[in-house]
Amino acid sequence: MKLAYRMADPTGLCFGVKRAIAQLEQALANNEKVYCLGSPIHNPQEVARLAQKGLLVVSEVSEVPDGALAFVRAHGMAPRPLEELKARGVSVIDGTCPFVRVAQSRARELSEAGYHVLIAGDESHPEIVSIRGHVSGSVSVVSCSTELSDFAKIGRIGIVSQTTLPESTLAAIVAKAIGLASDVRVFNTICRATVERQRAVSELASKADGIVLIGGKNSANTRKLYQIATDQGCEVQWIEEASELERSWFQGRNTIGIAAGASTPDWLIEQFIHAIENQS
Amino acid sequence: MKLAYRMADPTGLCFGVKRAIAQLEQALANNEKVYCLGSPIHNPQEVARLAQKGLLVVSEVSEVPDGALAFVRAHGMAPRPLEELKARGVSVIDGTCPFVRVAQSRARELSEAGYHVLIAGDESHPEIVSIRGHVSGSVSVVSCSTELSDFAKIGRIGIVSQTTLPESTLAAIVAKAIGLASDVRVFNTICRATVERQRAVSELASKADGIVLIGGKNSANTRKLYQIATDQGCEVQWIEEASELERSWFQGRNTIGIAAGASTPDWLIEQFIHAIENQS
């Protein structure tokens, strides 16, 4: 029996990650080793595939040898470690997502204009680390509006957001910030791909009898899709690859929704669809 | 029997209105007639008192005779009618509240910087008419966030607010605006007097067995105090002067709260307290 399924639309790889992986693949085609600070994509299966082609994931700048070739992933990097690499003769291929670059520039502009920069997002996420690194003045990172409760009044607050933040979270943070400063400037740096993918999952959750979500367990944007669907009372099976599928889960469900994180490569989605179309 | 009562703190006349009335009183002491475009204060009793001293309230610029003396009330005026008066040799005493002047300047600055100006407030309120008059470019007025639902995406939105708007209303409007533009600049031009008076009424509503609210029925800020208290389930008797008091209303209430609008003169509050302290 074939299972009826419905894909979230749009879903899967976003423009920024697709672009970065293409750059990395090209670099790997022309070079034996390419160093990347942190995983180039929050998907273990894709990283394993790229590692076979010569990708070396390191966690510290010091692990990149002098004169080597380094790749800056879509999340971007703070200027200081990047300068350190260049000073040691490391060639750099910059895969920073253009939307993350906008957030970096806006944060720097706000700081230079005298604003206290407030970054809405997850403090430990590499994208936020990279954005924060572009601010030389005073800066704070908050992941939700309640974290602003302890803030004293500040003259001017300039806000940018993680590109994958739900718009409602940014809205709540901004709503709170206007009580803290008389001049609040907000650059909504959430990328459309994120907004559209979150909207698509929300729509799917209202129609399907359950959603299979394909994406790295270390992917923040996939976790947000998971939350959005479960918050609507939709059951979600979050898997990294087709082999994890619990087939019993499909019983009694008429229409299954399929969605994938913005860092889930197409081949993993195709592998999954192949698996469910050929299940006995 | 004396009634136990408790005053909202702060309450009554705000700095801007107090200042404007003092300017007007001085003008009336030195001149036989002073023209004012619209009521100088949204309180009929106070306007009647000032009328006896020579105040003439007119509704159109054309009603002010050439060479007369005109007074700009705390709400301010748009530049065009003001220039028209001056061109006709009318002397002008400017009683614009300094906080309203900030909102006017911010709106003009935002417009000159290329923002679509969004004024949060009541379109027909004289303060909003005066602020709007300072914008030469594109401008919209919205009183609540739902009015933004029909808005198309706009490149840049610059927001200022009516000085008496509840902060929660501005917050909701700003939260919605960040979905409409990637660059949103907010000048929170709500004055502290408003915030503090609204907070004081909210606190009083939670403690008193009912509130007597003294203020003009045509006063927007008094209406907001009324809403804040009733939204908390507190019964409110809204009166303009002591003579309107329904004494039966006091029966069975232990602690009465007293609050007044930002346009309610002190003598009306004193008159009321005198009345309840001397009731039999």
Contact A186 B188 (CB under 8 A): no
SS (H, E, C) A73-139: CCCCCCHHHHHHHHHCCCEEEECCCHHHHHHHHHHHHHHHCCCEEEEECCCCCHHHHHHHCCCCCCE
| Vertex B106 angle, CA B104 and B111, to 5° | 100
Per CB-CB distance under 8 Å, the chain B contacts of A162 are none
Q: Which of A170, A179, A182 sits opposite B187 (nearest CB)?
A: A182
A108 Cβ contact list (under 8 Å, min separation 6):
A134, A135, A136
pLDDT tens per residue, chain A (280 residues)?
567 889 999 999 888 999 999 999 999 999 999 999 999 988 889 999 999 999 999 999 999 999 999 999 999 999 999 999 999 999 999 999 999 999 999 999 999 999 999 999 999 999 999 999 999 999 999 999 999 998 988 889 999 999 999 899 999 999 999 999 999 999 999 998 888 999 999 999 999 999 999 999 988 889 999 999 999 999 999 999 888 988 888 888 989 999 999 889 999 999 988 888 876 5
Residue B170 CA to residue B168 CA, distance in Å, equals 5
Question: Which DSSP category does A210 fall into?
Answer: -
Contact A188 B174 (CB under 8 A): no
Residue matched to tokens 């003439």: B56
Q: Which of A178, A181, A188 sits opposite B170 (nearest CB)?
A: A178
Residue matched to tokens 């705000």: B14
Per CB-CB distance under 8 Å, the chain B contacts of A176 are 171
Contact at 8 Å (CB) between A229 and A211?
yes
A–B: how many Cβ contacts below 8 A? 60
Write the pLDDT tens digit of every residue in B157-186.
999 999 999 899 999 999 999 999 999 999
Instruction: Give me A59's structure tokens.
Output: 């966690």
In the predicted structure, residue B227 carries a pLDDT above the cut 90: yes
CA-based torsion, A33, A39, A41, A47: positive or negative: positive
Q: DSSP string of A138-182?
A: -EEEESSGGGGTTPPP-SEEEEEE-TTS-HHHHHHHHHHHTTT-S
> Which phi-psi region, left, alpha or beta, contains residue A211 (left: φ > 0; alpha: ψ -120 to 50)?
beta
Write the pLDDT tens digit of every residue in B71-129.
999 999 999 999 999 999 999 999 999 999 999 999 999 999 999 999 999 999 999 99
Interface predicted TM-score (ipTM): 0.79
Contact A184 B188 (CB under 8 A): yes
Contact at 8 Å (CB) between B175 and B199?
no
Which residue of B lies nearest to A169 if distances are taken between CA atoms? B175
Write the pLDDT tens digit of every residue in A246-255.
888 888 898 9
Q: How far is B162 from chain A (nearest CA, A)?
A: 13
CA-based torsion, A187, A190, A193, A196: positive or negative: negative
Which of helix, strand or coil describes residue B3? Answer: coil
Please indicate whether residue B203 is annotated as part of the active site: no
Write the pLDDT tens digit of every residue in A122-175.
999 999 999 999 999 999 999 999 999 989 888 899 999 999 998 999 999 999
Residue B33 CA to residue B27 CA, distance in Å, equals 9
A244 Cβ contact list (under 8 Å, min separation 6):
none
Per CB-CB distance under 8 Å, the chain B contacts of A175 are 171-172, 174-175
Which of the following is catalytic: A32, A127, A196, A277? A127
Q: Locate all alpha helices (DSSP H) within chain B, ordered by sequence.
A: 15-30, 44-51, 79-87, 98-112, 126-132, 167-177, 192-207, 220-231, 266-277
